[in-house]
Amino acid sequence: MSTQRPSQPSPNPFRFSNGSQNTVSTIERLHRGSMTSSQLQQPPIAASGKAHKLENNNSPAANNDDSDRESGRAKEYGFWAPELAALRKEYLIGIARLTAMVTILVWGVLGIYWGGLWTASSKVHNLTAYIINRDGPTGIIGNTTQNALLGSMHLKWQVIDPTLYPDAASIEQAIATDEKAWLAVEVTQDVSSRLSTARTNGDASWNSQDTVIMYYSEARANTVIPGMVVSPTLKVLESAFANMTVTLAQQYLRSAMTNTTALEAVERAPQTLVTPVIVTAQNLRAWDQTVATAPTFVGLIYVVILALNVTLGNFGMRQAIQGKLKLSSMIAMRIIIPVIVYLFLSFQYAMLNLPFKLHFDGWKLGFGAGFLTFVAATWCGMTVLGLIIECVLAIVGSAFIGFFLILLIIANVVTVVYPIPMMPAFFRYGYAMPFYHLKNIYVHIVYNTSKHILVLYHFGILFAWIAMLLATFPLWIVLERRRGIEAQEKAAEEAANNSEQPNDFSAPPSRQYDREQGDEKVQHTSVGQP
């Protein structure tokens, strides 16, 4: 029976002294990234007479490192660990840059909102108001009213020829529909002579509330008109009429001291002496739906947020396909798909108001017409805002879109808080902002403010925005794609340069092979040829 000789290992081109062939295979596997954690834990056999080994002692730290490697868990450090010095420095520098950018945002962007409001109360005098005096040139009530208002200067008062607005309906047309003025004070026809007659005759039917009438439309600017327009006007007139009443009463009582008939007349109509004039406020378009604040103010910000979510969602989901599309197809996809989504969301946004009983028929053209007009306005506004965000996303990238969003919201929302005439001249840009026109359409539908034809004007501005954005959109996409191609070429060039570097088995002993994101490192010595 013959004895079988053990198989001989394949010849190895490398020769070692006092070493093992396992060393070469170990290094080759390391170069190929095929080493397992168990293989890494095996200490290599010394080569060239040098006993280079992996650290493998019985200390608790070493045992913890071994257990971390066995579990596949990255090694963890404290924040101030020396091993993280470079990463910590990079992180803190990034935080410092972010803080600087947010500081610029606070002063440069948030300041726009503060700047639009801080002079509002001192610029109320830019709002036009009418005085319509039908009392005649000698009427004490008409003259008192006119002098008091012209002297107050809190509004831009204009004395209007009464023949231009002969009745209450014409005044309502001027204030609520044509919006020629923010407020009108009417002194009724020959009120001073009628008061004198009623006092002399003891007319108990004298109605003090028909003497001076104040017309205004609260829905035109509900944040301003009640507190900054109507209230100061009432205070001025009430103070003036209180002084006038005292003067008239003194004059009448002096003449009535010896006139029994006059005293009896006062007894029959005491209001002609005590309260001969009372200002009657006519709120032509009352802000009587508190829920309207949602779509006409805060809801405008929600429209931006909806457009932002669609844009960013589209940005993330199209990455896999857009690189394989022709330029024309990619541009069409980035325009048409979001616009279809905006139409669906506009219906949802409009229907959200239905359970809360928002009056879509306030403009007297029917509920259905109001609802569909609301949807169309929201669709146009959301399309404008979405295209703006899409263009900026193509220009600056997703990293800075949050900063731009704040600018977009503040630059728009400041134009709908107070009337633009109450702001510095800089804010006249608001007449072109989407929020301004969206709000005017909504308010017109709900409260019937301004003329119906002005709805077309507001839609026209939104259409102009859409046309401008569609005309420039391909340009931004071309620039974005060009930057992307340049970035890919640069990355490919760097990868090619890295791949051309040879695997040098004679590398310095300090070469380290990183595994698991650089947290575990194994040092191997070089293997020298004899």
Query: Which residues partner with 187 through β-bridges?
Result: 133, 212
What pLDDT score does 71 carry?
Answer: 59
Residue 284 confidence (pLDDT) above 90: yes
Shortest CA distance to 44 belongs to which of 523, 507, 529, 530?
523
Query: Which residues partner with 184 through β-bridges?
Result: 130, 215
Distance CA 429, CA 432 (A): 6
Per DSSP, 43 falls in state: P
Contact 4, 31 (CB under 8 A): no
- DSSP string spanning 315-360? HHHTHHHHTTS-HHHHHHHHHHHHHHHHHHHHHHHHHTTTTTT--T
Shortest CA distance to 206 belongs to which of 268, 144, 279, 135?
268
Distance CA 374, CA 75 (A): 58
What pLDDT score does 261 carry?
Answer: 77
Helix, strand, or coil (residue 249): helix
Contacts of 322 (CB under 8 A, 6+ apart): 330, 333, 334
Three-state SS letters, 90-125: HHHHHHHHHHHHHHHHHHHHHHHHHHHHCCCHHHHH
Contact 123, 110 (CB under 8 A): no
30-63 residue pLDDT tens: 444 444 444 444 444 444 444 444 344 454 444 5
Residue 24 confidence (pLDDT) above 50: no
Establish how many alpha carbons lie within 13 A of residue 100's alpha carbon, considering only the half-sphere containing its beta carbon: 6
Q: What is the mean pLDDT of residues 286-295?
A: 93
469-486 residue pLDDT tens: 999 999 999 998 888 788
411/256: higher pLDDT: 411
What pLDDT score does 202 carry?
Answer: 86
Query: Which residues partner with 522 through β-bridges?
Result: 513
Contacts of 360 (CB under 8 A, 6+ apart): 353, 367, 368, 370, 371, 374, 445, 446
CATH fold of 121-283? abc type-2 transporter like fold (3.40.1710)
Distance CA 416, CA 410 (A): 10
Contact 203, 270 (CB under 8 A): no
Distance CA 375, CA 354 (A): 12
Distance CA 283, CA 40 (A): 85
Contact 68, 75 (CB under 8 A): yes
Q: What is the mean pLDDT of residues 142-154?
A: 93
Query: Which residues partner with 183 through β-bridges?
Result: 129, 216
Q: Where are the domains of the chain?
A: 9-67, 88-117, 121-283, 290-490
The whole-model pTM stands at: 0.76
Query: Which residues partner with 358 through β-bridges?
Result: none
Query: Which residues partner with 160 through β-bridges?
Result: 132
Strand-pair category, 279-283 with 212-216: parallel
CA pseudo-torsion sign 81, 86, 91, 93: positive
208-259 residue pLDDT tens: 999 999 999 999 999 999 999 999 999 999 999 999 999 988 888 887 776 7
For residue 265, name the pLDDT band (cuts at 50, 70, 90).
confident
Q: What is the mean pLDDT of residues 335-345?
A: 96
Q: What is the mean pLDDT of residues 268-286?
A: 91
At residue 242's C-alpha, the angle toward residues 240 and 248, to 5°, is 100
What pLDDT score does 523 carry?
Answer: 41
What pLDDT score does 30 carry?
Answer: 41
Contact 120, 420 (CB under 8 A): no
State the maximum Cα–Cα separation within the chain, in Å, rounded to a whole number: 164
What pLDDT score does 126 carry?
Answer: 93
For residue 487, name the pLDDT band (cuts at 50, 70, 90).
confident
What pLDDT score does 285 carry?
Answer: 95
Q: How many CB atoms lie within 10 A of CB 244?
A: 18
Shortest CA distance to 27 belongs to which of 3, 5, 52?
52
CA pseudo-torsion sign 201, 205, 206, 210: negative
At residue 362's C-alpha, the angle toward residues 280 and 285, to 5°, is 20
87-139 residue pLDDT tens: 999 999 999 999 999 999 999 999 999 999 998 888 999 999 999 999 988 89
Contact 194, 183 (CB under 8 A): no
The proportion of the chain whose per-residue pLDDT surpasses 70, expressed as a percent, equals 80
Per DSSP, 82 falls in state: G
- Which range (370-374, 484-488, 501-505) has the least confidence? 501-505
Distance CA 40, CA 29 (A): 10
What's the helix, strand, coil split of the chain in %, to 5? Answer: 65, 5, 30
Contact 437, 295 (CB under 8 A): no
Give the chain's mean pLDDT. Answer: 83
For residue 334, name the pLDDT band (cuts at 50, 70, 90).
very high
What pLDDT score does 57 carry?
Answer: 47
What pLDDT score does 209 carry?
Answer: 92
Two structure tokens written together for 228: 């900054």
User: Measured between alpha carbons, how far is residue 61 from residues 40, 67, 68, 71, 311 in Å?
Assistant: 17, 10, 10, 15, 50
